[in-house]
Amino acid sequence: MANQFLIMLSRAKGVRDIATRLPMTRSVVDRFVAGETTPQMVEVCRRLTDDGLLGTVDYLGEDTADLGQAAAVTWEYVGALAALAEAGIADRVEVSLKLSAIGQFLGRDGEKVALDNARQICQAAREAGTTVTLDMEDHTTTDSTLGILRELRADFPDTGAVIQAYLRRSEADCRDLTHAGSRVRLCKGAYAEPESVAYPDERDVELSYVRCLKVLMYGEGYPMVATHSPRLIAVAQDIAQRAGRGNDDFEFQMLRGVRPNAQTKLAGLGHRMRIYVPYGTDWYGYLVRRMAEKPANLGLFVRGLVDR
C-alpha cells in the first residue's frame, strides 16, 4: 500500500514541483544519481570501470511532452555515447533508454517518433562500440515497447530487452526472446500494477522470476540478471551452472547506490557486474521509485530534505 502511494507520488506533478525545490542534500541524490551533466556521468563511469565493473547509463526523464523534448533527449544520448567513446570506456558502458522519453506517447505517431529516435541512438551506440537496452515501463507500454524492440533488432540485433517478472505474461515473453544473441534483462518490475496483470504477492513475483530465469539461462540468448536479492542471485548462479553457462555467458546488474559491497564482491568472484547509472536533472521520479522499493530509503530521503 505504502509502495503504491509512493509510486503515485512519483507521477504527481504538484508534489514533484515542491519536492525538487526543497533543500535536498547532495549526499542523498548522489547516492543513486551520477550527477546532472555528461562530464559528471562519465567520471562516475570511469571510476566504475577502474573498479572492474560495467555500466549502463540512463539519462533521467520520462513522459516527454513534445517533439522538441524527444529530440533533445535523443541528442543527449548521442552526446553521452560520444563522450563515453572519447573517454575510452564505451566497450564497458552501454546505455539504457526509456521509449517514453523519446516520444512513444506523442499522439498517433508516437511509436514512429520513438522508433526513429531510438534508431539514431542505436547508430550512435554502434559507432561508439557499445549497445542500447530498452527499459520497460508500466504494463500499458509492454506490447508497444516489445514491438519497437523487434523493429530495432532488425538493424541492431544487440538491442537489449527488459522483462518484468511481476507481470503474469512474462514467462511467455521470455520464451519469445531466447534466440541466439538476444540480450534480456530480467527484473522484478518497479511500477504500481493492477492484480489483473501482475502478481500482487512478493512470493509469487520471486517464483515467476525463477521460472523466467530458467527459460533465459537454458535458452540461447544472453541473460542479464537485474536484482539485489541475495536469494535470487544465488539461484541465478546455480541455474547458470546447471545450464552450462560460464561467467562470461550472463551478467548481473544492480542500481547505483544499492548494495555497493555486493557489487564489488560479485565482480571479485569473476562475474560480469553491470551498474545502472542514472544522471540528469530530472531525478525526482527515479528516486521516489527507489523509496518505494525499500522503506529505509525513505528515511534517507526525508533526512536529506531537512539536512542542510
Active site residues: 135, 185
Which lies closer to ligand FAD via its Cβ, residue 88 or residue 269? 269
CB closer to ligand FAD, 115 vs 292: 292
Distance (Å, whole) CA 8 – CA 2: 10
Helix, strand, coil tally for the chain in percent (to 5)? 55, 15, 30
Whole-number minimum distance, CB 233 to ligand FAD, in Å? 9
**Structure-block grid coordinates of residue 295:** 522503506
Residue nearest to ligand FAD (CB): 228
CB of residue 53 vs ligand FAD: minimum separation in angstroms? 12
Nearer to ligand FAD, 156 or 166 (CB): 166
**Smallest gap from residue 26 Cβ to ligand FAD (A):** 18
- What radius of gyration, in Å, describes the C-alpha atoms of the chain? 18
Q: Where along the sequence are the contacts to ligand FAD (CB under 6 A)?
A: 135-136, 162, 164, 185, 187-191, 226-229, 253-255, 258-259, 276, 290, 293-294, 297
Q: Are the beta carbons of 232 and 225 closer than 8 angstroms?
A: yes
HSE value, Cβ hemisphere, 13 Å, CA-based, for 130: 28
Residues near 143 by beta carbon (within 8 Å), at least 6 away in sequence: none
Measured from the CB atom, is 83 or 136 closer to ligand FAD?
136
Residue 16 CA to residue 18 CA, distance in Å, equals 5
* Spatial separation of the C-alpha atoms in residues 104 and 102, rounded to whole Å: 6
Q: Cβ 68 to ligand FAD, closest distance in Å? A: 25
Q: Write out the H or E segment, with its range, that includes residue 28.
A: helix 26-32
Least distance (Å) from ligand FAD to the CB of residue 31? 9
87 or 298: CB nearest ligand FAD: 298
CA-CA distances (angstroms) from residue 79 to 42, 72, 158, 211, 270? 11, 10, 20, 38, 32
User: For residues 287, 259, 95 and 97, what is the CA-based torsion angle, rounded to 10 degrees?
Assistant: -40
